Amino acid sequence: MALLDKFASTLSIREKLGAAGQDPTSVVIDELISPTEGMVRGRYTILAGTNNYLGLTFDPACVAAGKKAIDELGTGTTGSRMANGSFAAHTALERDLADFFQLPYGMVFSTGYAANLGMLSALVKPGDTVLLDADCHASLYDGCQMSGANLFRFRHNDLSSLEKRLQRLGDEAKNCLLITEGMYSVLGDTAPLAGIVELKNRYGALLLVDEAHSLGVYGENGCGVAEAEGVSGEVDFLVGTFSKSLGAMGGFCVSPHPELELIRYVSRPFIFTASSSPSIIASTREALRQLRARPELRETLWRNANRLYQGLEALGLPLGPQVSPVVAVRLSRDQEPLSRWNRLLNAGVYTNLMIPPASPDGFSYFRCSVSAAHTEEQLEKIISAFASL
Ligand code: PMP
């Protein structure tokens, strides 16, 4: 049973997580009332940690598209696209995405996590070099690890740290992949993509940007931070997810490089897993249509983000560096996070609790994600719950 001994430490972590009341990793939302409200342990709760940026999960057109797809195509695809074939909707979504980003190639994966694993394990190999922003998401780290490439981190959002790394690589810089996110998921800050693109062009590297949290949030058309920074055409591989602004589940990559079409043949996380079910693809296609047709969703999201950021700032709380739809409240080292997080939950507000090692800088955070579907009243309740701490 020695193999199982290691779980003793996991058990002790779980016991500590639950000691202050509800374990934040096992919250059950018994009933959903709307994209931003639910019932948790019998209590009406405002959901302030959903990543449902545009609030589209209950959008009537998206729901109808998902239902219609189940009626017409069934509940699942029951296999991978390589072995069992694609449904026409998978390829249509790939064309929709390419069209949205005004790029020639698009590829859909079963999750955002699989998109990062699938892209990185195919793009780089042992002997290749990756330079990764230190605060990148676990899926980007895992993809690099799966690839076996040499991995070096540069300091978060620090162009001079990135340039030093590139200089140290010498000629190898031309054979190197840079990886960043658009908007970062924990603090809501954005990458200096214009500067990163300038460096990648100067050193002849390639760039992959994960816009998981910035799709539908940043840019004139909602394409993300690369669009907002005026460098969309210069990103070599732009990855993202359907699980946030698009309110479903799945991942994608779009690219100006025809090699993206060949990645289908070599990417194990694409080949060896079932393709997304018809209802997911259909609701995602509809959500993308909504995202494009209704810029007012983005405007409401930003109005709400500004309100929450300003309201929490006025309470004197230390927040992430930028106003954004991710509003992170930092706790000081002597503030015990679990009991405070439980107090917020008991006050009827659910936020994400980020504690080390999941937080980027050793601090704990209450991470709020704002939605276009939050009402003014809900935002005021979130602010009052923080005030009552
Ligand atoms: N990239 C980033 C930056 C993320 O934050 C996440 C999920 N939180 C993912 C990728 C993975 O996406 P998914 O949950 O859709 O698999």
Q: 330: closest CA among 136, 153, 180, 189?
A: 189
CATH code that applies to domain 60-293: 3.40.640.10
Residues 297-323 have a mean pLDDT of 97
For residue 248, give every residue at least 6 positions away whose Cβ sits within 8 Å of its Cβ, in sequence order, or none.
62, 242, 280, 283, 284, 287
* Atom 8 of ligand 1, nearest CA residue: 185
Ligand 1: distance of its center to the CA of 213 in Å?
A: 8
Sign of CA dihedral 71, 75, 79, 81: positive
What is the side-by-side strand order in the sheet with 326-330? 326-330, 365-369, 352-354
Residue whose CA is at the smallest distance from ligand 1 atom 1: 212
- The answer to pTM > 0.85 is yes
Q: Which of 179, 304, 30, 152 is nearest to 312 (CA)?
A: 304
Q: Is the CB of 212 under 6 A from ligand 1?
A: yes
What type of residue sits at position 385? A
| Beta bridge partners of residue 49, listed in sequence order | 369
pLDDT at 6 over 90: yes
Residue 185 in contact with ligand 1 by CB distance below 6 A: yes
Close Cβ partners of 10 (under 8 Å, ≥ 6 residues apart): none
Does residue 112's CB lie within 6 angstroms of at least one atom of ligand 1? yes
**Strand 105-109 and strand 43-47: pairing?**
unpaired
3-class secondary structure, 231: coil
Instruction: Please classify residue 154 by burial: count the beta carbons closer than 10 Å to its beta carbon, then call 0-12 exposed, 13-18 middle and 19+ buried.
Output: buried
Strand partners for 118: none
Tell me what pLDDT residue 97 has.
Answer: 98
pLDDT in tens, 248-293: 999 999 999 999 999 999 999 999 999 999 999 999 999 999 999 9
Q: Which atom of ligand 1 is nearest to the CA of 136?
A: 3
Contact assessment for residue 351 and residue 366, using Cβ atoms and an 8 Å cutoff: yes
Summarised one tens digit per residue, pLDDT across range 209-250 is: 999 999 999 999 999 999 999 999 999 999 999 999 999 999
Whole-number Å distance, alpha carbon 352 to ligand 1 midpoint, is 15
Task: Specify the pairing of strand 206-210 against strand 176-181.
Answer: parallel
Kindly give the number of the ligand 1 atom that is closest to the alpha carbon of 111. 16
Residue 360 has what pLDDT? Answer: 87
**Residue 211 beta carbon below 6 angstroms from any ligand 1 atom:** no
CATH class of 17-47+295-387: alpha beta
**Banded model confidence at residue 130, pLDDT cuts 50, 70, 90:** very high
pLDDT at 86: 97
- Domain ranges in the chain are 17-47+295-387, 60-293
- Whether 17-47+295-387 and 60-293 share one fold: the answer is no
pLDDT of 68 above 80: yes
What is the pLDDT at residue 106?
98
pLDDT tens, 327-340?
999 999 999 999 99
Ligand 1 in reach of 352 Cβ (< 6 A)? no
**Termini Cα distance of the chain:** 45
Which residue has the least CA distance to atom 15 on ligand 1?
Answer: 112
Q: How confident is the model at residue 63 (pLDDT cuts 50, 70, 90)?
A: very high
pLDDT at residue number 204: 97
Look up residue 21 and give its two tokens.
């009341």
